Amino acid sequence: MEPGSSSPFGGVEIVITERLWRRFVPDAVRRVERALAAAECAASVALTDDRTIKRLNHRDRGKNKPTNVLTYERPPEILLAFGVVAREARKEHRSIASHLTHLIVHGALHLHGFDHHHPGQAREMEGEEARILARLGVPNPWKNR
C-alpha cells in the first residue's frame, strides 16, 4: 500500500494499492467518498490492480479472469481493477474518473440488494444508477445503448 493511500470515511477506508489510479484519477478518494455518500453506502473501497481482482474472482466466483468490480457483503467492501476499468472507459468513450464513479455506485447498489441477472432487475438497477449519477454530475452510462 502506498503511504497516505487510505482515507477514513464514516468508519470505512478507501485504499489505493495500484498507483495508476492516482495518476489517471488524481481526485479518486474524493470521487469515491462522494459516490458512497450519494448511494448512502458505508463500504470500504480498494482501488487495486487486475492481478488482485483476478485472484479474488477465481477464488470467490470460480472465474479465472479479472473483472471491473467485486463487491463483498461482510464486511461491506467494493474492489475495483484499474486495468479493466481503464479498458472499459476507453472502449465506451468515457473518462476513467466517470467510470470509477459509476462502478462505485454500481457496487453500492449491489450491497443494497440490487442485481442485474434478469432484464427487469437490470432496468431497475440501471435506472437507480442513472439517478444517483445525475446527482453527482456524471453522464448516464446507459444512454444511447
Helix (H), strand (E) counts: the chain: 6, 5
Q: What is the pLDDT of residue 4?
A: 39
**pLDDT cut 90: percent of the chain above it:** 89
Do 43 and 108 meet the contact criterion of CB atoms below 8 Å apart? yes
Across 78-90, average pLDDT: 98
| Residue 7: how many other CB atoms lie within 10 Å | 16
Residue pLDDT, tens place only, 13-37: 999 999 999 999 999 999 999 999 9
Residue pLDDT, tens place only, 99-132: 999 999 999 999 999 999 999 999 999 999 999 9
Do 87 and 99 meet the contact criterion of CB atoms below 8 Å apart? no
Do 95 and 85 meet the contact criterion of CB atoms below 8 Å apart? no
Per-residue pLDDT at 46 exceeds 90: yes
Can you tell me which residue has the cell 487486475?
Answer: 50
